[in-house]
Amino acid sequence: MKKRRKFCGFLAFLVLLAVALIPAGKSQAAKLPALKVKGTKLMNSRGRTVQLKGVSTHGLSWYPQYVNQKAFTYMKKYWKINAVRLALYTADYNGYCNSDYANRLKLLKTVDQGIKSATFAGLYVIVDWHILSDGNPQTNQNRAISFFARMAKKYKNNTNVIYEICNEPNGGTSWNTIRTYAGKVIRTIRKYDKNAVILVGTPNWSQDVDVAAEKPLKGYQNIMYTLHFYAGTHGSWLRDKAQKALDKGLPLFVSEFGISDASGNGNLNKTEGNAWIRFLNKNKISYLGWSLCNKAESSALIKSSVSKTTNWTSKDLTDWGRWLKSKF
């Protein structure tokens, strides 16, 4: 009897040891297929067209509580998303580039937690260098290079990580300026990760994709260009610009959108929203809705009165949240 107990105890020890040795951030499920860009389409390693659908967090400094394993697993199972975006603000309040060392470490920890949680949940995850008030991506170019070197080196073996290198260039920043910045950051990422999909922002808050299509980046593979819209402000005229870009062979990726006005507030335009979804589905363009938080604004997915960070019922969601969930 004693020998049997010893054996059982030893067996339990081996099981615990095996669990402890599972790499951080990896579930016991199979890895997600690596993605690649072919023509204007995003494809998996089997040559099948992939359309990512999911949600973007709000700023990680402001709403880090939504970056958790339970939330990501819940949305994968019940919302049927397959991707999540981690919005790391750069120059806004408590942004990565205008805060102290301690806060930068805290933000890096949140990004790491987001990637780990997404990976375990079986989601693709976009690491978003969320420039906004800084306007020109070259303003914090050195920080961007250092950040993406760190990320690419650490996650080079993760087939589910996508890098978004400049959220919404604005303030009159030209495509030539963005293009120069992008080349430097892409080369940095490629030192460590040769194949990850990289998303490049376009002029005028990532709307002028037709301008980027006139002179796309050359010499790189697996590059896509971001198109952002808010249906309360951006209608058929922006879809026309997107169509022009597609006709020129530019691969587009909608890493952020909503159906309020461009401020993130105002009334919801579901008619234009439905027109956009039809356009995106027709062209197999991936899309992620803004944003996973309970901020008191039209573009928040969670009601401001709700404090839960997972397991949301329909009553917990805003009108926008319910509409977006129905599209998944």
Q: Which residues have a catalytic role annotated?
A: 168, 256
Task: Tell me phi and psi for residue 211, to 5 degrees.
Answer: -70, -45
Q: Return the SS3 of 84.
A: strand
Beta-carbon contacts of 263 under 8 Å, excluding residues fewer than 6 positions away, are none
Beta-carbon contacts of 25 under 8 Å, excluding residues fewer than 6 positions away, are 115, 116, 117, 119, 120, 158
Q: Are 221 and 178 in contact (CB under 8 A)?
A: no
Q: What angle do CA 285, 290, 291 make, to 5 degrees?
A: 145
Q: Is the dihedral of CA 314, 317, 323, 325 positive or negative?
A: negative
Q: Which helix (H) or strand (E) is 283 found in, with range?
A: none
Q: H helices then E strands: how many in the chain?
A: 10, 10
Burial, 17: exposed, middle or buried (Cβ in 10 Å; 0-12, 13-18, 19+)? exposed
* Antiparallel, parallel or unpaired: β 35-38 and 41-44: antiparallel
Q: What is the largest CA-CA distance in the chain?
A: 79
d(CA 234, CA 284): 20
Q: Are 256 and 167 in contact (CB under 8 A)?
A: yes
Task: Cite the DSSP H helix spans in 37-100.
Answer: 69-74
With tokens 């062209």, the residue in question is 283
